[in-house]
Amino acid sequence: MNRSTREELQREIDRDRRAERMMVPYALLAVAVIAVIMVVREVFFV
């Protein structure tokens, strides 16, 4: 494996590693959706 290939593959690893950080906002988005439904419930149906 030459140096440029190695560097390119390492960049790919770093890119995918950074992409995993999106898991946090995805989970927060899911919590937000549930929170909105709960608010609608509390305001209009309880």
Partner 1 sequence: MLDSSSVAGTTLTYVLLVLVALGALPIIAMGYQFVLIPFHAFRNHYAKAAPYLPRVAVVIPAWNEGAVVGTSIDNLMALEYPADALRVYVVDDASTDDTPDVVLAKARQYPGQVFHLRRAKGGEGKAHTLNHGIAIILEDDWMEALLIMDADVVYLPDSLRKMTRHLADEKVGAVTAYIREGSLKKNYLTRFIALEYALSQAASRRAQNVMGAVACLAGGAQLHSRANLEELGGRIDTSSLAEDTVTTFKTQLAGRTVVFEPHAVVLAEEPQAVAALWKQRLRWGRGNVHITRMYRKLWFRKQEGNRLGSLDFGLVWFGVAFQPVAMVLSSVGLVGLYFLESPVSAQVFRTFWALAACTYIFTMVVTIALDPVTGRKTLREAIFFPGLVSVVITVATFFPGLLEEDVPALLGVELSDGILRAWTLFVYSWITLSMVGAWIVKRVDSTRAGRFVSPVLVYLVGYGPILCAITVDSYVKELRHADASWDKTEKTGRILA
Contact residues: partner 1, CB under 8 A: 1, 5-6, 9-10, 12-14, 16-17, 19-24, 26-31, 33-34, 37, 40-41, 44-46
Q: Residue 10 — φ and ψ, nearest 5°?
A: -65, -40
Minimum CB distance to partner 1, residue 16 (Å) = 5
Please tell me whether residue 21 adopts helix, strand or coil conformation. Answer: helix
Minimum CB distance to partner 1, residue 14 (Å) = 8
Minimum CB distance to partner 1, residue 12 (Å) = 7
